[in-house]
Structure 1
Amino acid sequence: MNAPRGLPDNDDKTVIVSGAPGASASFVTHNVLPAGTRLGEFEIVGLIGEGGFGIVYLAFDTSLDRHVALKEYMPSALAARIGATQVQVKSARYETMFRAGLKSFINDEARLLARFDHQSLVKVYRFWEANGTAYMVMPYYKGVTLRDALKAMPRPPDEAWLRALLTPLVDALAVLHAANCFHRDIAPDNIILLEDGHRPVLLDFGAARRVIGDMTQALTVILKPGYAPIEQYAEVPSLRQGPWTDHYALAALVYFAITGKTPPPSVGRMVKDSYQPLAKLAAGRYSERFLKAIDHALAVQPAHRPQTDQAFAAELGISLDDASAGRTARGDMGGAAALARRRIGWTLAAACGLAAAAALGFFAPKLLPRAPVSADAGHAASAPAPIASPPAAAISAPSAPSAPQPPALPPYSPADEFARIVSLADPSFAVKAEVPLARAVAGHDRLRFTLTSNRDGYVYVFAVDPANQYVQLFPNELDRDNRIGANKRLVLPRPSWPMEAGEPAGANHFLAIVSSAPRDFSALALTHDSAFASLSPDAQNAAAAARTLTASPFAGVPSCGSAAPSCPVAYGAAAFKIDVVRSSR
């Protein structure tokens, strides 16, 4: 099949508009939506970049009061803007190609990215179809592309800088590869170093571009010579794609950083390999181990490269997060042993009809003050990352970027994790808990608290008692109606399941989450052996091991079902404490 007239014959390089987003430029096409255009709750502020297959805008989320990056599927060779926002295929002969690209944009890029939660992967807040096309909304990260950062350096980066760059990137790839997903487009212009700390984030999966390129057999549309390994040029059984495919591109990136040029194109290397090993070119400036690891990953034949992320990391001398191999938004941490039923913390009052047949478990942690949301709280915070390079006005290229040093994950304790979940929540999603009795007498006082939220949502409440017994208080087997209206009061427990303070005495800590979408907590391996699901100490430890800097398994993940056109990820949270004391009588 011949490529449609006008299909880009190079990579889908995003054109950056100089000046502030929305600045005029002669190369901005009529396909670009003007500032002020409304797409649902999002208002276009200006243009970030326009490529051959999509347009990225700076937009304002009017419901959450924050700026985001909004990407529109717009293959300019196949479709054009009709009217204010509508997109229409130019010709019936392009319809199949356009639809295939649209499906890939949604399923292979937006929906795929929404599954993962890693500080070096772009987070997708929301995606949907409308106006004959599709959109996805992401964080808007301020930073500089790796390409520009390297260009600004007076000399090649040293080994420490490169290791600090590679560690989170290989870790992010381990998350993708564990789900049998591959990036397949790693290059210096597809990595952004964030303003705060220069943390690298992988951009542009370009799924629609690859699908359309495959259908038109226009390989130059989807491949970057020097970075693309041989298996991306041909579908033959002996040249399978796998983790080693991304390793090659990442190693080519390091080669470029050290030498200032890319390795020879892999197709030419199959005929006559003119590759010059870094172990010779850069000997003495970097450790032999590091250079040999890069050379190994740049072997022409896939079978001759490291086959796993763990093997590649070991050769580089870097450590991966132990949880990376299985970490996705819905990672399964295995089952936990069933908890024996026992009376703890608060028990159902007799009016419930079940007496002590079910009980709550709370642990007694000390609450931490709410921390400000940082750049590492990426997907639940405010600033986002386009699948395109940021505008020049939003970035400042450092002359010599310092080595990225991601902050350490704090040690796990249930109490601190409740506080951390509050700090990771969307700051514009205000959840408030009011407790009329902060001190309850065992055997006398009943549990009561009131929740309010500035947005409609679904409520989830967890509690832990002084004996470290952890339960999902709400929703439960007795009460599944967990909706809350914006600015409405929800008083819990409801009259159908009153609860009375009981032993053990001490501090009982609670976490209330209000989420825009229903949340799935199956990864916690909760035990459903009574009216209230519980979490054993072993299951707590398993969940703690799967934590990341930007997410907590204890907060669950949004779950809207496969039929839903989009699934919002925003949530708010509040933590509070009730001290149970023994009666003095």
Structure 2
Amino acid sequence: MNRPGALPPGTRIADLQLDRCLGASPLGFEYLARSTGSGSPCRLAEYMPERLTERRGAVVAVRPGAAAAFEAGRRAFQLDADRFSLPRHESLAVARRLLVENGTTYVQLPWHEGQTLADEIGRYCAPVEPADVRAWLRAVGGALGQLHRGGVVHGGVSPARIVRLRDGTVRLGLPDSARWPLSAWMPEVIDFDDPSLAPEQLLESAQRAQAVGPWTDVYGLATIAHLAIASRLPPAARHRDACLARPSLLNFANTRWEMAMLLAIDRALSPDPGSRPRSMDDFLSAMGLMERRARPRAPGESLLGHVLDRPTVTAPAATPAAGPAPATIAAAPEPTIETLSGPAIPPGPAPTPPAEPRRNSGWWQLLIVLLFALLAAVAIGAAVRHPAGGQTSTGQRPSETPMSVAARSNG
């Protein structure tokens, strides 16, 4: 992209010296820089929104009235650097440092020699080997799966953000999350015709936050697979009719591409998020790029033990002459949610219940007799203490007030 305002070569940012500008976008610039000490190269991303700032020497000055928008985008820019500062996976770019200089923020990234898949496949239409495509999908999908298990959704998976290195491996870059909060002031930062954007990413900000999930990254990775197989990207999600009319990848089923893999990619490109694989592991398993693994059980957990640990029961070769086998043994039902709600009964004859001890009811009768005797004794004692005339033992009627009480009440 042609955009004036980039820093000239030789500019110093902390202990880095800029070599040249690698690219520009409405969000800022990217440079090739070198350490002034070791001379090792790195990439340096500068946050400088085009419509919100202007260059004054090396300083980034915020235009009047744009401070709130500038800070909202800068927080998202810094959040990307924070989320990707740990080496989670070899196929994910790592943010080395966050530098605050010249009134803005810079992110230092490793330098990798290579070109993006968008250039290699989309622009130059280079032939792609199926083995390479499977390796890319397995590597990037595994990296995204680790992100998802950590509660992070990338949200920017596209051929333009995946660099193929000289050794054939791939690296997925940062997602440029600053474009989403800036889109309220700068709509041009979102390319709504980008085929890698999932339909739920085109919603309003409040709805988008609730709708985006691992299935969003599944959609982005499926667009890369579509590009590698069909040599073109699928239609943009904003054109729903074109998405629904998209030719199925099953037209490419041959000895190079398995039908199961093509069906999984078609499903992952569904405009409906509920129709896609819900996790990256499910997507990779459906494409045959990953073995489906059972969920590890927590210590002491036994609810699914009868399902996960039960050996496979094969049907007998012949039915015994004594009689047909019970239906519950011949055709065991597939485990469902209902069957997981309680302990399963293992196949086989039911054990003989232990003999119930005989209850002796004589002591119950004795207890009842004693209870009645106690109640009768209480009633007789009450009658002796309170004669039938209604007077107490002192001859005082219940309606009379004792003198001592009357004296106290009169003062």
The residue number in structure 2 matching 1:87 is 60
Q: What is the deviation of 1:270?
A: 6.0
1:405-444 counterparts in 2 under 5 A?
A: none
Contact 2:52–2:62 at 8 Å: present in 1 too?
Answer: yes
The residue number in structure 1 matching 2:50 is 76
Could you say if the C-alpha distance between residues 95 and 190 of structure 1 is closer, same or farther in structure 2, counting changes exceeding 3 Å?
Answer: same
Q: Does residue 201 of the first structure (1) align with residue 171 of the second (2)? A: yes
Ranges in structure 1 where 5+ consecutive residues have no aligned partner: 1-14, 16-26, 327-333, 336-585
The residue number in structure 1 matching 2:248 is 277
**SS in structure 2 at match of 1:45:** strand
Sequence identity percentage: 29
Tell me the alpha carbon deviations over residues 244-276 of structure 1, each in whole angstroms, 9 at most, x when there is no partner: 111111111211222222222223226972122
Q: Does residue 37 of the first structure (1) align with residue 8 of the second (2)? A: no
Could you say if the C-alpha distance between residues 237 and 122 of structure 1 is closer, same or farther in structure 2, counting changes exceeding 3 Å?
Answer: closer
The residue number in structure 1 matching 2:21 is 47
Could you say if the C-alpha distance between residues 270 and 219 of structure 1 is closer, same or farther in structure 2, counting changes exceeding 3 Å?
Answer: farther
Q: Does residue 96 of the first structure (1) align with residue 52 of the second (2)? A: no
Contact 1:185–1:249 at 8 Å: present in 2 too?
Answer: yes
Contact 1:270–1:300 at 8 Å: present in 2 too?
Answer: no
Distance 1:308 1:288 in 2: 21
Tell me the alpha carbon deviations over residues 321-366 of structure 1, each in whole angstroms, 9 at most, x when there is no partner: 99xx99xxxxxxx99xxxxxxxxxxxxxxxxxxxxxxxxxxxxxxx
More off after superposition, 126-135 vs 232-241? 232-241
Q: What is the deviation of 1:200?
A: 0.7
1:77-156 counterparts in 2 under 5 A?
A: 77-83=51-57, 85-92=58-65, 94-107=66-79, 109-151=80-122, 156=127
Could you say if the C-alpha distance between residues 210 and 320 of structure 1 is closer, same or farther in structure 2, counting changes exceeding 3 Å?
Answer: farther
Distance 1:100 1:166 in 2: 33
Distance 1:74 1:160 in 2: 40
Q: Does residue 59 of the first structure (1) align with residue 30 of the second (2)? A: no
Distance 1:290 1:231 in 2: 24
Tell me the alpha carbon deviations over residues 170-215 of structure 1, each in whole angstroms, 9 at most, x when there is no partner: 01111221222222222222110011x12111124111122201x2
Contact 1:239–1:301 at 8 Å: present in 2 too?
Answer: no
RCO greater where, 1 or 2, for CA within 8 Å and sep 6 or more? 1
The residue number in structure 2 matching 1:398 is none
Could you say if the C-alpha distance between residues 55 and 154 of structure 1 is closer, same or farther in structure 2, counting changes exceeding 3 Å?
Answer: closer
Tell me the alpha carbon deviations over residues 499-536 of structure 1, each in whole angstroms, 9 at most, x when there is no partner: xxxxxxxxxxxxxxxxxxxxxxxxxxxxxxxxxxxxxx
Tell me the alpha carbon deviations over residues 373-414 of structure 1, each in whole angstroms, 9 at most, x when there is no partner: xxxxxxxxxxxxxxxxxxxxxxxxxxxxxxxxxxxxxxxxxx
Contact 1:185–1:223 at 8 Å: present in 2 too?
Answer: no
Could you say if the C-alpha distance between residues 161 and 247 of structure 1 is closer, same or farther in structure 2, counting changes exceeding 3 Å?
Answer: same
Could you say if the C-alpha distance between residues 153 and 233 of structure 1 is closer, same or farther in structure 2, counting changes exceeding 3 Å?
Answer: closer
Tell me the alpha carbon deviations over residues 45-87 of structure 1, each in whole angstroms, 9 at most, x when there is no partner: 111112111211111112443111111111111101112x211
1:540-579 counterparts in 2 under 5 A?
A: none
Distance 2:129 2:242 in 1: 33
Could you say if the C-alpha distance between residues 75 and 290 of structure 1 is closer, same or farther in structure 2, counting changes exceeding 3 Å?
Answer: same
**SS in structure 2 at match of 1:186:** coil
Distance 2:83 2:124 in 1: 34
More off after superposition, 152-161 vs 175-184? 152-161
2:225 corresponds, among 247, 254, 257, to: 254
Contact 2:285–2:292 at 8 Å: present in 1 too?
Answer: no
Contact 2:155–2:216 at 8 Å: present in 1 too?
Answer: yes
* Residue identity opposite 1:60 in structure 2: R
Q: Does residue 167 of the first structure (1) align with residue 132 of the second (2)? A: no
Distance 1:74 1:320 in 2: 44
Distance 1:81 1:155 in 2: 39
Q: What is the deviation of 1:319?
A: 2.9
**SS in structure 2 at match of 1:138:** strand
Contact 1:121–1:201 at 8 Å: present in 2 too?
Answer: yes
**SS in structure 1 at match of 2:290:** coil
Could you say if the C-alpha distance between residues 165 and 77 of structure 1 is closer, same or farther in structure 2, counting changes exceeding 3 Å?
Answer: same
Could you say if the C-alpha distance between residues 217 and 148 of structure 1 is closer, same or farther in structure 2, counting changes exceeding 3 Å?
Answer: closer
Could you say if the C-alpha distance between residues 270 and 229 of structure 1 is closer, same or farther in structure 2, counting changes exceeding 3 Å?
Answer: farther
2:162 corresponds, among 176, 191, 204, to: 191
**SS in structure 2 at match of 1:88:** strand
Q: What is the deviation of 1:121?
A: 0.9
**SS in structure 1 at match of 2:239:** helix
Ranges in structure 2 where 5+ consecutive residues have no aligned partner: 300-411
* Residue identity opposite 1:200 in structure 2: V
**SS in structure 2 at match of 1:114:** coil
Q: What is the deviation of 1:222?
A: 4.9
Tell me the alpha carbon deviations over residues 1-38 of structure 1, each in whole angstroms, 9 at most, x when there is no partner: xxxxxxxxxxxxxx3xxxxxxxxxxx451x21112111
**SS in structure 2 at match of 1:262:** coil
The residue number in structure 2 matching 1:263 is 234
Could you say if the C-alpha distance between residues 162 and 217 of structure 1 is closer, same or farther in structure 2, counting changes exceeding 3 Å?
Answer: same
* Residue identity opposite 1:192 in structure 2: V
Tell me the alpha carbon deviations over residues 284-324 of structure 1, each in whole angstroms, 9 at most, x when there is no partner: 541101111111111110010000111111011113899xx
Q: What is the deviation of 1:153?
A: 6.6
The residue number in structure 2 matching 1:305 is 276
Query: Which one has the bigger strand percentage?
Result: 1
Contact 1:113–1:124 at 8 Å: present in 2 too?
Answer: yes
Contact 2:26–2:50 at 8 Å: present in 1 too?
Answer: yes
Q: What is the deviation of 1:237?
A: 8.3
* Residue identity opposite 1:127 in structure 2: L
1:312-461 counterparts in 2 under 5 A?
A: 312-319=283-290
TM-score by length of 2: 0.66
Distance 2:208 2:105 in 1: 34
Distance 1:238 1:45 in 2: 38
Q: What is the deviation of 1:282?
A: 4.3
Tell me the alpha carbon deviations over residues 448-485 of structure 1, each in whole angstroms, 9 at most, x when there is no partner: xxxxxxxxxxxxxxxxxxxxxxxxxxxxxxxxxxxxxx
Query: Which one has the bigger helix percentage?
Result: 2
Distance 1:287 1:295 in 2: 13
Tell me the alpha carbon deviations over residues 134-171 of structure 1, each in whole angstroms, 9 at most, x when there is no partner: 01111111111112222577664232221011111001
